[in-house]
Amino acid sequence: MARKRNFKKGNKKTFGARDDSNAQKNWTELQKENEKWEKYYKELGVIPEDQWDEFKKTCQAQLPLTFRITGSRKHAHEVLSLFEEQHLPNLTNCEFEGEVIKAPTRLPWYPENLAWQLDVSKQVIRKNEQFSKVQRFLVVENAVGNISRQEAVSMIPPIVLDVQPEHAVLDMCAAPGSKTAQLIEALHANEDEPSGFVVANDADHRRSHMLVHQLKRLNSANLVVVNHDAQFFPRVKTDKDSNQFLKFDRVLCDVPCSGDGTMRKNVNVWRDWCTGSGLGLHTVQLNILKRGLNLLKKGGKLVYSTCSMNPIENEAVVAGALRHFGDKIKLLDCQDKLPGLVRSQGISNWPVFDKNYVKKEKGDEGTHETWFPPTSEEAEMFSLDRCIRVYPHQQNTGGFFITVFEKIDGDSDEKPKRAGTEEPKEGLVPEKKQKTETGVAAPAPVKKEKLPRDANEEPFVFLDPKHPELEKCWSFYGIDDKFDKSSCLVRNAAGEPTRVIYYASSSLRNIIEANDDRLKLIYSGVKLFVSQRSDIECSWRIQNEALQIMKHHMNQTRVADVNLECLKMLLMESFPRFEDMENSHIDDNFLSKMKSLSAGCAFVNVNRGEDKESLFMPLWNGSKCVNLMVCKENTQELLHRLFGDEAALKQAAAAKESQKVAASKVEETPIPAAEEAIPTTEN
């Protein structure tokens, strides 16, 4: 996928040097032309002549706002109902400056009606009261992780990959993380504790840390983030005491590309696009795809995708992999998948132009054989028409390319190699190459005896389940033996629980312990226990992000059932006193339970019926008062979702806007008017 444009510090001319808004508008529109791009795609012939004007006009137009609702099935459908019942009716037959505005529409191909598109301008969203109200809803729900603002076509690859809870999944080029989030959600679709896991990799160290920031809100113990060049992703041992290597059930290769499918939101593509970009990236893309197929198990699926429309980056790469692996792999026909998605078939013939737009033939000096289309015999065998092409004008989206592979023969187990070098010995890691858009050649290998580790990166050390501090927690919270107590870890050189104890799924524990000398680990595990006061029975409190797991393993000793009236009081009041609660008679059973417990972390459970998600939240139980331990953003979202508190929604949206403004001032980064208070769209 193409890298999002960076607004660098001090770049004051990003949105035009003059203050005049019309001049800025004209400057932007001027960039939405590229003679070579237009000539190339007309000659390519993938867009019918009678559709060209519509195609180009759509590429020049603003991208609509799209989002998907996330979370467990009950939770997601509750947020969907809130949108459909409280917001959607007000957006139907809505007018702005005398014209009827198009109401939001479902993406018909996205499962369970959980993705939506708003074909309105940012001006309408900012100035129309009804759309402004929806904007606040989207901002707040995005902040707490209930929705993800994501480009529509970017949602396709994880859906066709078909991830199940038991799958081992590799995302080879994961940043910024929107597709990775979909993979994790699929893993947890119906299970809080799936047996599978997701390995999210990115070549760029900075972007791998950004990936952590994006994915932490999913609170998954089944995620590990690593930092490797995807072309040379290392073989992963399944266990420290064996010499078996992991094969993945699912692999996503959403590779770096020239990104002309993103030109609706990235005006720089219009200026920078040339035929040389695709040619330069082709080898890197093919190397990543081949490495992904090597890591795929027999019967597994791999999705190769780009946000480019250029066949040199798409069908040519796919054909190169099919040629390399022969009958060990095949393309799957996905025409029956995603009903409602307007798409075009892949192509088997295309011209090749060099960076100076000179047409080349196979065998010409300076060319690669895999740039060129397959022979007629190969074309019949490869079935490249099974590839999916989505063009911007077909349903008002960006452009995208998607192909699904299946591994027929799992015997191939090639180790990653750099061209012209000896095969790296096991445990020796070549220097990583950052994810780029320019297709620069891979650097010469630099062999290192140990994996590089930044000064602020600590090791992953798993604790003995009988460690005295853990034993306190097991007893205090009544943790059952079904919970994997050997999967608790700390991240400090001493290997002792001092401040935070994390939890990673048992399947990931084996991977982490067996590959300390192979994988550059960036992140794994959710916060399980955090140390607080030392003057109480148990100083460790269970963190919010681990509750979806821990609620299944605790007895009811420190759990109290509460009614909705009591929950509302706990959300609205900080540290309500027992005395005041007793006088108000809000929930006598809850009050009695709290008085009977020792000081420390406890929990409230709100049973809302079979059709709605039960709520399970931590609180602090003191000697004279209690306090619900839910962050302000979540508190305001719950007040709005459960009790219709519109004021809470406004406060939360205003707080997010203030945070954005403050962050932009610190970074000296200009914020375009078109993106104010709108969550960022990711590819």
pLDDT in tens, 154-168: 999 999 999 999 999
Q: Side chain identity at 331, as an amino acid letter?
A: L
pLDDT at 175: 94
pLDDT at 539: 92
pLDDT at 621: 94
Averaged pLDDT for residues 214-234? 94
What are the residues whose beta carbons fall under 8 Å from the beta carbon of 542, sequence distance 6 or more? Answer: 477, 528, 529, 550, 601, 603, 618
At residue 436, φ and ψ (nearest 5 deg) are -130, 170
> What does DSSP assign to residue 217?
G
* Rounded CA separation 34/297 (Å): 43
pLDDT at 516: 87
pLDDT at 281: 97
Averaged pLDDT for residues 394-406? 97
Q: Side chain identity at 505, as an amino acid letter?
A: S
**Averaged pLDDT of the chain:** 85
C-alpha closest to that of 151 among 188, 107, 98, 95: 107
Greater pLDDT, 240 or 496: 496
Q: Side chain identity at 316, as an amino acid letter?
A: A
What are the residues whose beta carbons fall under 8 Å from the beta carbon of 387, sequence distance 6 or more? Answer: 314, 315, 318, 331, 345, 346, 401, 402, 403
Above 90 in pLDDT, residue 681?
no
C-alpha closest to that of 565 among 548, 589, 544, 547: 589
pLDDT at 75: 83
pLDDT at 126: 76
Give 3-state DSSP helix, strand, coil % of the chain, rounded to 5.
Answer: 40, 15, 45
pLDDT in tens, 302-357: 999 999 999 999 999 999 999 999 999 999 999 899 999 999 999 999 999 999 99
Averaged pLDDT for residues 69-88? 86
Averaged pLDDT for residues 387-401? 97
Averaged pLDDT for residues 425-439? 35
Above 70 in pLDDT, residue 260?
yes
In the annotated binding site for S-adenosyl-L-methionine, the residues are 173-179, 202, 229, 254
Above 50 in pLDDT, residue 671?
no
CB atoms within 10 A of CB 207: 18
- Which residues participate in catalysis according to the annotation? 307
Above 70 in pLDDT, residue 489?
yes
Q: How confident is the model at residue 487 (pLDDT cuts 50, 70, 90)?
A: very high
C-alpha closest to that of 46 among 380, 403, 399: 399
Above 80 in pLDDT, residue 432?
no
pLDDT at 239: 87
Greater pLDDT, 124 or 673: 124
Q: How confident is the model at residue 212 (pLDDT cuts 50, 70, 90)?
A: very high
Q: How confident is the model at residue 413 (pLDDT cuts 50, 70, 90)?
A: low
Structure tokens, 414: 């090639």
Averaged pLDDT for residues 36-47? 96
My answer on whether omega of the bond before 157 falls inside 30° of 0, hence cis, is no
Asked which of 9-23, 98-112, 232-246 is least confident by mean pLDDT, the reply is 9-23
C-alpha distance from residue 200 to each of 1, 180, 253, 622 (Å) = 15, 7, 11, 41
Asked which of 42-51, 232-241, 383-392, 439-448 is least confident by mean pLDDT, the reply is 439-448
Greater pLDDT, 610 or 118: 118
Above 60 in pLDDT, residue 4?
no
Q: Whole-model pTM?
A: 0.86
